[in-house]
Each structure stands twice: as structure tokens, then as C-alpha cells.
Amino acid sequence: MTIADNIISKEQDQSTTDNDSTIDIQRQMIAILDFGSQYSELIARRIRETEVYSEVISYRTTAEKLKEINPKGIILSGGPSSVYDDYAPVCDPEIWQLGIPILGVCYGMQLMVKQLGGKVERSKRGEYGKASLHIDDPTDLLTNVEQNSTMWMSHGDSCTQLPDGFKILAHTDNTSCAAIAKHQEKLYGVQFHPEVIHSEYGTALIRNFVYHICGCEPIWTTKTFVEESIKEIRARVGDKRVLLALSGGVDSSTLAFLLHEAIGNQLTCMFIDQGFMRKGEPERLVEIFDNQFHINVQYVNARDRFIDKLAGVTDPEEKRRLIGHEFIQVFEEESNRLGPFDYLAQGTLYPDVIESADTNVDPKTGERVAVKIKSHHNVGGLPKNLRFKLVEPLRKLFKDEVRKVGRSIGLPEEIVSRHPFPGPGLAIRILGDVTAEKLNILRDADFVVRDEIKKWDMYHDFWQAFAVLLPVKSVGVMGDKRTYAFPVVLRLITSEDGMTADWSRAPYDLLEAISNRIVNEVKGVNRVVYDITSKPPGTIEWE
């Protein structure tokens, strides 16, 4: 649930919010029916990279609703279930009669086969990871896909009998039906995952489906999105005032620039400094927005309030809850002081819309189940006496698309390319209780990390690079004297989208430079260690 989910006026404003989907650049879309695959979002991103709009929707969406949406094509995602399970999730069988091109991916292909009269059975030998694709028909879907190229498999079931009219397009050493088609009805299926980076010609396959089979045009561009969004914001807001909670991250910053472009001084940004930001960031934020670009930013110093709230708190979920609750209290007080406002702007992104937690489909009931890893930093709800309408211009964008929009409207590169930073900030990079002393130690250590990777011209080599302060002390020696001080953990991560991540094989000399500086410059630290855990099984953040 996002902050705006509890706004009292959402019912009267919902029809306006839903109309976001009628933007002209979305008139040619690919609909993705989600059966619980971890890659459903990734399919949407891959399609958007071809400059065609795509949207993830429930597998329960009826054929009648799909007819109303009128997508240019439909993709059935993968999923964790087996199609022969008693409660396996299934789509409306009427979708096969819509005359819309359909591509089934992994589970989606198996469901297509089963619903159209074929047979799917448990394989004698599963197929997971890389597999060589042997192409039998290089036309249509597999045009420009190289013979024997690598595709990424992840299945324990296989199609053992195809429905009438289908033919095999490709096979692997272990799977006789790796790609299938019923050309005349534009129905296609692949047993592998073309959306993942490990599939060498996956993008070519996706482009074939989007352009050649569905007939889409490349109109999902940054320029068009900005133009249409500005028109929509102006039409929606009129001459009313808009309030935006500015964090300094790429999402809220891009939104601030976009809103300022659309409505100018009708926008007020509120920056609540809760004391958990990195060294120099609050001052730099005000300098950029207020002084350089003349965007109205109201700075609220609430550091003491937040630190007092966390006194003695060690549980990470409790930290997040208390920070979120205190943020709401401060926001309420300051919005009443600065208001009245008619609209609340929020930097909700598309992943927030389609999954506020990791999701799956229960194989026993067919229901989607949310698996809570940790609370999202935006979790919470504004008090119901704050009568705002909601404006969320970025709610259809992925993070990489937001960065493109930010660059196109003049957002400084230091913000556009800023590493992701959690909403609770340094409070969840300090394990155990949070104190002013520990915050100062971690700020100094974190500054060294960022300063060194910039000196080495490696800032953009990492998805995130930061320090973590542990709630223990270790023995050291400095200047022939015994020390008993905190250890700092370095976390240098490489990733494409943050969903999975790997620890960086950073140069030893860089690690040594960071370690030497932290131990010598940061009072209270005498040891530096390096986290070499990937995600999964670990998370990127420690709390």
C-alpha cells in the first residue's frame, strides 16, 4: 500500500486516475497476463525497450475486458504452477477467439497447449539454465534468431502433444517443443524465457512478436511521454496548488521537475530532513532545487524528532514503522501550515502499482499470495482528514524510464544517476539502535565510500555502493595502543534492476583505499569487512 491509498478523496478522484491509461502513447500496447512469474515485470520492460508500451495485468482479466482494452498483442507469462494441478491458474478460454496475437512464455505456452486440446506432462528430465536452441522454422517469431543460440530454460513440465494446427518452430536437446506456432491464428509459444539477459537472442524474438506479428509502432518515447504528461497535469490540476514530498531521489526529483514544467509556482515541495540522509545531501538538495532551478522547496528540520523516536529501537521493521509514522505526523503538521493544497503529488512507479511485495500464485488455490520480505519505505497512509486528490504522473514508468525522463527535462546528472537510497536512510544501515554518534560515524564512512569510487571513476560501475555499521565492537591497534571500536561493512553491488544482485569483484586496490581511509579518517571505526553475499539469498540492504 502506498501513502496515497488512504486518502479520503480517492473514491471521487479514481476515475481521473484511471484515465492515465488513455494517454495517446498507450494506444498501441502489449498486455501481459501475469501468472506469478518473477519475470513478468521484466517482460514488460523488455517490450518497452522497443519503444512499445506494455502493461502487466491479472491472469483473471476476462476476454471481454481484454476486448475493451484492445491490446495489439497478449503475452501469457511464466509461473510456478503446473497446468495439470487442480488449482492451476488459468486464463479466460475465450481469449483464443479474440483474433489478437498471443505469445505464451513457459507456463503460458503450456497453458495455451492444454486449453487448446494438447497435452502437458511432467518431464522425465527437467531443464534449468542455459540451453542451445535448435531452430526448425526460422520465420516469423524466430526471424534473426541465430541457430544454436543460448536461451534460458526453467521448467519441469513439457508439451507432449500439440493442439491441432500447431507446428514446432524449435527444439533443444531435452525439449522437443521449445517453440511452437499456429501461424494462421498468430498463436505462439516458447518454453524458454526470452526476457532474461541470459537468452542471447531474446530481444530479437520479442521485437519479432511486437513489430512483425502484432504490428506495433515505436511511439512509447520519452519525448512523447513528457509532452502528454504535461498536457494531462495541466488539464487535471488547473489553477490549483500541488504539494510534493521531496526526498532527493530520482523519482521525486524527476516528478518535481516535471510538475514545475507543467504548473510552475503552483507546486510546493516539502523536504523533511529526518536526520538519516548522507553527508551534505540536505544542503545540496536545497541548493539545487531552490537556488539553481527556483523550484519552491520548504525545508523542514525534524532530525531531533526522528532520532528521539528511534531511541532504543533495534528491530528493523519497528524502525521502518516508527519512521513512517513520524513522517506522516510531520507531513500533516507542515502541510496544514503551508496549505491549503488541493493535490498531493506522489512519485509512485509502475513496480509499486503491480507489486508492493514479492508475489506468487498458490498452487493449491490458484490465488496470488504476497510474500513479505520487508516493508517498503513508502508503506503507510496519510491521515484521513487530509483531503487531497492524487496526482501520479510517473505511475506507468519503470525506474530506468524515470531516469530517461529526468535527463530529458534537465534534471542534473548527479541526481539522475544517484544510487538507490532507502527511504529510512542510514537508520536501516545501522544495525541495532540508532544514535546521533552512530549516524555521524556512518555518514563519514559512507562519504569515504562514495568519494573513493568517484575518484576511481567507478561510481556507475555499481548499482549501489555503501557502508553498514554493525552493533558490535572489535579489538584493534592504532599507534601502539589497543582500540575497541566498530567494524564497518562495505556493500558494493552490481545489478540490472535490483530484483537480483551480485557482489562486485571490485579491484583490491580500491577496497584497500576505502578501508585505509575509513580506519584513518573515521573516528570510532577500526575494522572494515567486505560483504560477498548475492541477492538472493541475501538482500541488498542489511535491514
Q: Could you give the residue numbers annotated as active site?
A: 106, 193, 195
Q: Give the whole-angstrom CA distance, residue 433 versus residue 316.
A: 9
**Smallest Cα–Cα separation from 89: which of 71, 115, 118?**
115
Burial of 523 (0-12, 13-18, 19+ CB in 10 A): exposed
DSSP track, 402-471:
HHHHHHHTT--HHHHTPPP--TTGGGGSB-S---HHHHHHHHHHHHHHHHHHHHTT-GGG-SEEEEEE-S
Which residues make beta-bridge pairs with 181? 167, 188
- 107 contacts 83 by C-beta, under 8 angstroms: yes
Cell numbers that stand for 504 in this block: 562486485
Sign of CA dihedral 20, 23, 27, 28: negative
Which residues, other chains included, contact 473 with Cβ-Cβ below 8 Å and sequence gap of 6+? 484, 485, 486, 487
Element (H, E) at 229: helix 222-237
CA 228 to the chain's CA centroid: 23
Q: Give the whole-angstrom CA distance, residue 243 versus residue 60.
A: 36
Residue type, 444: D
DSSP track, 81-141:
S-TTSTT-----GGGGGS---EEEETHHHHHHHHHTT-EEEEEEEEEEEEEEEEES--SGG
Write b or e for each residue in 88-100: b if 16 or more Cβ atoms lie within 10 A of its Cβ, otherwise e. Answer: bbebbeebbebeb
Query: CA separation (Å) from 219 to 69, 111, 169, 394?
Result: 18, 31, 30, 17
Q: Give the whole-angstrom CA distance, residue 74 versus residue 29.
A: 9
Burial of 415 (0-12, 13-18, 19+ CB in 10 A): buried
Task: Classify residue 242 by its DSSP letter.
Answer: E
